[in-house]
Structure 1
Amino acid sequence: MGQSHDVLVVSSVNVNGIRAAAGKGLAAWLAATPADVVCLQETRAQPEEVPAGLFDGWHARHAPSEVRGRSGVAILTRAEPGAARTGIDDDEFAGSGRYLEVDLPGVTLASLYLPNGTAGTPKQDEKDRFLARFAPYLALRRAKAAAEDREVLVCGDWNIAPEQADIRNWRGNVKNSGFLPHEREWMAALFGEGWVDVVRAQHPGVDGPYSWWSYRGRAFDNDTGWRIDHHVATPGLGALARSAVVERAPSHAERWSDHAPVTVVYGP
């Protein structure tokens, strides 16, 4: 990976509003995490609106939405990153705060907040347009990285559960966005091209581990969740994954987001 050390720890989490999450436990989590890189989604804040001191000790890169209070992604790194790029080379989604990537030695890391659709509505149409444009972008990014002898890792809230094992109640969600047949086929095509679903590779043949639970009812207490927060890697990096954990809060009261951090250790 070209790092000064042999291990790279990467964590990703949808914070569901960084200002609210900071006061609920995100600040303590950031202070304690062993991660070398943290990818954040749904920050819903401009860089100057991030609570003072929250990113102390980190190099932060931001891709906020042009619409205040919406979307937004960021990447925190211990080491100062190289080039940073925003967007997926598409005019419609430029400035949408949905994609940011940075270069570290030997690897390009991205934070993704893929649109959350609602079946049969314009929101789903928007999500489908993003999918149609994101797949060729990923192919291009992978080709460029290969030419530079680099790996690629796209972390974030993909808002798609690829398999039945990724939703506790999959039978009740077959017509809902995030588990629609064409969405799962889209992800299957990515994996068919060689991209690696790192967490699933580390947890084969089991339900979950889920990374999102609705705030409604007792979804968290009953572990009625979805696995929609993914690490998607090029094959070389995927093969270096040593462990993958979802940092599920001990209790509902201790949650600081409706998502939990997904942390993967990469190393020889």
Structure 2
Amino acid sequence: MKLVSWNVNGLRACVNKGFLDYFHDIDADIFCIQETKLQEGQIKLDLTGYYQYWNYAVKKGYSGTAVFTKKEPLLVRYGLGEQNFEHEGRILTLEYDDFYLVNVYSPNSQRDLARLNYRLEWENRMLDHLLQLNARKPVILCGDLNVAHKEIDLRNPKSNIGNSGFTEEERGKMTTLLASGFIDSYRYFYPEQEGSYTWWSYMRNVRERNIGWRIDYFIVSEALSGKLKNAEIHSHIMGSDHCPILLELK
């Protein structure tokens, strides 16, 4: 089974930059996107063979997630826990026979950390959600989690300590998640691989020089460790300030 996750940073713009070519070439069983930045009716994708599920933000041109899947899920939830609504469109949970898929666009704590408290509350609620799901069947969590967990996960760790996405608090939440029965699938295969990033600033030559952060993840329940086959970062794919990531399961 092949899964892909990509923060497209505006799907309409990404479609104009080759999104559909990549989508069809990769032929994923499940394709998750974040930061769609659109409302219902603003785009129509002809994805033959895929069911489409969208969670739109109330605010126009903001946030949003979607999942395109070849197999119809048993159930789809929009939001966290028992709620079926989440006004920023940041999470979709799909239930299948053997696992849950959770597609997430985590809130950014912002440059001045004005939203850090909100972000930490979100992390607490997200962990509760994942643990509840994991108690029933294994979980595959994917998306832009807006945190570089370790120093190896960004080019300039020393100068970014305390900055949004690399605060002790945010990194600690990721540590807690992984200690609660989950695996960072990329580090499972490449624990010491440096220079593996999924996001780059739009500043000039930053991507060409690979001055980036790894903030997009596939995180899976430990129960799936024996099924992990491959994890990849497709940094050669343009169209967004993020690149797609891939996970293959046996």
Q: Same fold (TM over 0.5)?
A: yes
SS in 2 for 1:24: coil
- Asked if 1:27 is matched to 2:20, the reply is yes
Aligned-pair distance for 1:71?
0.6
| 1:3 paired residue number | none
- Asked if 1:36 is matched to 2:19, the reply is no
Aligned-pair distance for 1:52?
4.2
Q: Work out the CA distance in 2 between the residues paired with 1:239 and 1:261.
A: 24
Aligned-pair distance for 1:90?
8.2
| 1:242 paired residue number | 229
Name the CA shift for 1:100/1:52 in 2 (closer, same or farther; >3 Å).
Answer: closer
Is the 2:112–2:164 Cα contact (8 Å) retained in structure 1? no
Q: Work out the CA distance in 2 between the residues paired with 1:180 and 1:52.
A: 38
Is the 2:130–2:139 Cα contact (8 Å) retained in structure 1? no
| 2:90 paired residue number | 98
Is the 1:65–1:72 Cα contact (8 Å) retained in structure 2? yes
Question: Please, which moves more after superposition, 16-25 or 230-239?
Answer: 230-239
SS in 1 for 2:115: helix
Aligned-pair distance for 1:125?
2.7
Q: Work out the CA distance in 2 between the residues paired with 1:109 and 1:52.
A: 22
Q: What amino acid maps onto 1:56 in structure 2?
A: T
Q: What amino acid maps onto 1:68 in structure 2?
A: K
Q: Work out the CA distance in 1 between the residues paired with 2:195 and 2:217.
A: 12
State the 4+ residue runs in structure 1 displaced beyond 4 angstroms. Answer: none
Q: Work out the CA distance in 1 between the residues paired with 2:149 and 2:186.
A: 12
Q: Work out the CA distance in 2 between the residues paired with 1:122 and 1:185.
A: 18
SS in 2 for 1:32: helix
Q: Work out the CA distance in 2 between the residues paired with 1:229 and 1:46.
A: 23
Provide the aligned length of Structure 1 versus Structure 2: 249
| 2:60 paired residue number | 68
Gaps of 5+ in 1: 1-7
SS in 2 for 1:137: helix
Q: Work out the CA distance in 2 between the residues paired with 1:189 and 1:86.
A: 24
SS in 2 for 1:48: coil
SS in 2 for 1:30: helix
Is the 2:113–2:164 Cα contact (8 Å) retained in structure 1? no
- Asked if 1:129 is matched to 2:83, the reply is no
Is the 2:100–2:133 Cα contact (8 Å) retained in structure 1? no
Q: Deviations over 1:79-133 (max 9, x none)?
A: 2222100111387x82220000112221111110000112544322322221232
Name the CA shift for 1:64/1:142 in 2 (closer, same or farther; >3 Å).
Answer: same
| 1:4 paired residue number | none
Gaps of 5+ in 2: none
Q: Work out the CA distance in 2 between the residues paired with 1:238 and 1:71.
A: 31
| 1:139 paired residue number | 131
Question: Which one of the candidate residues 168, 172, 182 is aligned to 2:159?
Answer: 172
Question: Which one of the candidate residues 139, 156, 166 is aligned to 1:152?
Answer: 139
| 1:9 paired residue number | 2
Indicate the percent of aligned positions where both proteins have the same amino acid.
Answer: 31
Aligned-pair distance for 1:151?
1.6
Q: Work out the CA distance in 2 between the residues paired with 1:225 and 1:211.
A: 7
- Asked if 1:204 is matched to 2:197, the reply is no
Question: Structure 2 length as normaliser, TM-score?
Answer: 0.94
Question: Which one of the candidate residues 236, 244, 247 is aligned to 1:261?
Answer: 244
Q: Deviations over 1:171-213 (max 9, x none)?
A: 1110211110111111111111121101111111121421111
Q: Work out the CA distance in 1 between the residues paired with 2:8 and 2:111.
A: 24
Q: Work out the CA distance in 1 between the residues paired with 2:88 and 2:225.
A: 28
